[in-house]
C-alpha cells in the first residue's frame, strides 16, 4: 500500500535516477571512444564497414562491466545530492517518506544494469574458448609437470604451429627420456603432435628405450637389452637412438599449448569462460602463478552485484538532512571514488601476490564499502 501511496514520488525518483545514470554512461562512453579512436585510427573505419556492427559489439561489450557500476554510483549520488540541493529530500523527510523506501527504489532500478553486466560478462559462453585474439609470439615455451619442456623460436597461436622446436622429455627421476629437434611442429587435439624435418634422440630409462615406430607414427618403449641396461646402471647420459625424420607423429603427446598461451597473454585478456578453462587445466599448480587469474575471475563474477554495491555506497555517502553545496557535492563524489579505489588497489595487490586468497581479496573492497557506508549512514541519522 505504501508503494501505491508514493507512486508519484517513485516515478520522480525513477526518472531522475535513470536520467543521471544514462548521462553518466554517455559521458563515459564518449570519453572512452575518444581515447580509443586516438589509439586506433582505423577503429572508425571498422565500425563503418559491412560487418561494423560486429566490430562495435566486440568493442562495447568488454566496457559494460565497468561502465554500468560507475554510472550506477554517479547516478545515485547525483540524484541524492540534487534532492538535497533543492531541499526536496528535507521535504520528503518532513512528509514521513522513509529513507529505506528511496533506497529500495534505487536498488530495484539497479537490477537493470546488474542484469546487463551479467549478460555482457557471459557473452562468450556460447562460442567456447576463442583463440583468435591471441597474437603471434616471437618465442614461446611451455613446461609440463616437470616431465617435458618445449622451446619454440616462433609460434602461431591461431594455427597452433611452431617453428624450430626443441623438446626435452624426462623420466620420473628427472633423467632424459627423449629429445626432439624439428623445423616445424603442429598440434591437433585428436592426433597429438606432428613434427617435420627433425631429429629424434632416445635415452635409456627405467621405462625402457623410446623408439619411433617403423612408419614414424607414434613411439614404442622397447625393453632394454643387457648392454643397454648396463649403460643405465652406469648412469650413461648419452642417447642410444639418434634418428632423423621427415615426419614424426606422436599421438601420446597431448600437451595442449593453448593454456600456456593464455598464461602468456595475462588475465585481463581472457574472458570468464577462458579463465574457468585455464584454472581447471592448471589445477594444483603453484598458487602464486595462478593467483592473478583467480583474482580476475572473482572480479568478473562480482561485476554484476557491484552495481548494487555502488548504489548502496552512493546512497550512504549522499544521504543527509541539510542542504549541500556544489563544492560539497564534488568533495563527496571524490571521497567515494578515492575510498573504493584505495581499497580495490590494495586488495588487488595482495590478491595477485597470494598474500590474501584471491577470491577474498576481490570480495573485501565491496564488503568494506558496504560496511563503511552503513556506519556512515547510521552516523547521519
Q: Give the position of cell 623460436.
A: 153
Alpha carbon of residue 140 to chain centroid: 21
pLDDT at residue 108, rounded to an integer: 92
Tell me the three cell numbers of residue 362: 576481490
Which segments in the chain show pLDDT lower than 50?
A: 1, 125-133
Nearest C-alpha neighbor of 262 from the set 279, 276, 278, 273: 278
Q: What angle do CA 309, 317, 69 make, to 5 degrees?
A: 30
Q: What is the 3-state secondary structure (H, E, C) of 287-349?
A: HHHHHHHHHHHHHHHCHHHHHHHHHHHHHHHHCCCCCCCHHHHHHHHHHHHHHHHHHHHHHHH
Question: Which run of H or of E encompasses 115?
Answer: helix 99-121
* Cα–Cα distance for residue pair 169/202, rounded to 1 Å: 10
- 58-78 pLDDT per residue, tens: 778 878 888 899 899 989 988
* Cα–Cα distance for residue pair 197/338, rounded to 1 Å: 59
Tell me the three cell numbers of residue 86: 533543492
Tell me the domain boundaries of the chain: 2-127+299-380, 140-255
User: What separation in angstroms does the CA of 170 have from each of 210, 227, 239, 260?
Assistant: 12, 21, 13, 19
CB 285 within 8 A of CB 144: no
pLDDT at residue 126, rounded to an integer: 38
- 247-267 pLDDT per residue, tens: 999 888 888 888 888 887 778
* Cα–Cα distance for residue pair 40/46, rounded to 1 Å: 10
pLDDT at residue 130, rounded to an integer: 47
CB 97 within 8 A of CB 341: no
- Classify strands 192-202 and 209-212 as parallel, antiparallel or unpaired: unpaired
The CA dihedral of 344, 345, 349, 354, to the nearest 10 degrees, is: 0
* Cα–Cα distance for residue pair 264/219, rounded to 1 Å: 30
Residues constituting the chain: 381
- Classify strands 176-188 and 219-222 as parallel, antiparallel or unpaired: unpaired
* Whole-structure pTM value: 0.74
Tell me the three cell numbers of residue 352: 595477485
Tell me the three cell numbers of residue 172: 620420473
* Cα–Cα distance for residue pair 118/64, rounded to 1 Å: 9
Nearest C-alpha neighbor of 363 from the set 311, 308, 301: 301
Rg of the chain over all Cα atoms, to the nearest angstrom: 30
Terminal alpha carbon distance of the chain: 25
* Cα–Cα distance for residue pair 236/292, rounded to 1 Å: 43
Amino acid at each position: 500500500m505504501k508503494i501505491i501511496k508514493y507512486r508519484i514520488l517513485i516515478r520522480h525518483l525513477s526518472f531522475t535516477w535513470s536520467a543521471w545514470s544514462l548521462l553518466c554512461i554517455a559521458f563515459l562512453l564518449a570519453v572512452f571512444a575518444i581515447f580509443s579512436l586516438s589509439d586506433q585510427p582505423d577503429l572508425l573505419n571498422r565500425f563503418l564497414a559491412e560487418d561494423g556492427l560486429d566490430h562495435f559489439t566486440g568493442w562495447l561489450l568488454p566496457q559494460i562491466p565497468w561502465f554500468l557500476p560507475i554510472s550506477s554510483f554517479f547516478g545515485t549520488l547525483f540524484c541524492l545530492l540534487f534532492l538535497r540541493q533543492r531541499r526536496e529530500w528535507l521535504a520528503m523527510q518532513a512528509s514521513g517518506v522513509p529513507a529505506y523506501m528511496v533506497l529500495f527504489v534505487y536498488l530495484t532500478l539497479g537490477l537493470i544494469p546488474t542484469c546487463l553486466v551479467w549478460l555482457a560478462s557471459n557473452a562468450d559462453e556460447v562460442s567456447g574458448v576463442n583463440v583468435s585474439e591471441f597474437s603471434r609470439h616471437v618465442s614461446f615455451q611451455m613446461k609440463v609437470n616437470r616431465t617435458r619442456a618445449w622451446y619454440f623460436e616462433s609460434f602461431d597461436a591461431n594455427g597452433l604451429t611452431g617453428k624450430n622446436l626443441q623438446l626435452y622429455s624426462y623420466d620420473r627421476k628427472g633423467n632424459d627420456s627423449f629429445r626432439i629437434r624439428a623445423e616445424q611442429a603442429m598440434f591437433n587435439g585428436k592426433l597429438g603432435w606432428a613434427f617435420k624435418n627433425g631429429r629424434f634422440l632416445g635415452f635409456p630409462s627405467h621405462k625402457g628405450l623410446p623408439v619411433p615406430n617403423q612408419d614414424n607414427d607414434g613411439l614404442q618403449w622397447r625393453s632394454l637389452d643387457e648392454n643397454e641396461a648396463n649403460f643405465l646402471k652406469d648412469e650413461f647420459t648419452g642417447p642410444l637412438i639418434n634418428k632423423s625424420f621427415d615426419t614424426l607423429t606422436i599421438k601420446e603427446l597431448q600437451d595442449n599449448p593453448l593454456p600456456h598461451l593464455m598464461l602468456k597473454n595475462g588475465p585481463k585478456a581472457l574472458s570468464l569462460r577462458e579463465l574457468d578453462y585455464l584454472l581447471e587445466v592448471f589445477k594444483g599448480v603453484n598458487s602464486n602463478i595462478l593467483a592473478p587469474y583467480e583474482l580476475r575471475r572473482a572480479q568478473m563474477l562480482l561485476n554484476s552485484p557491484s552495481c548494487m554495491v555502488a548504489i548502496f555506497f552512493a546512497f550512504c555517502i549522499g544521504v543527509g538532512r541539510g542542504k549541500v553545496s556544489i563544492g560539497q557535492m564534488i568533495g563527496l563524489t571524490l571521497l567515494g571514488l578515492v575510498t573504493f579505489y584505495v581499497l580495490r588497489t590494495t586488495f588487488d595487490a595482495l590478491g595477485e601476490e597470494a598474500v590474501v586468497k584471491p577470491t577474498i581479496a576481490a570480495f573485501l573492497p565491496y564488503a568494506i564499502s558496504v560496511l563503511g557506508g552503513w556506519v556512515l549512514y547510521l552516523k547521519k541519522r
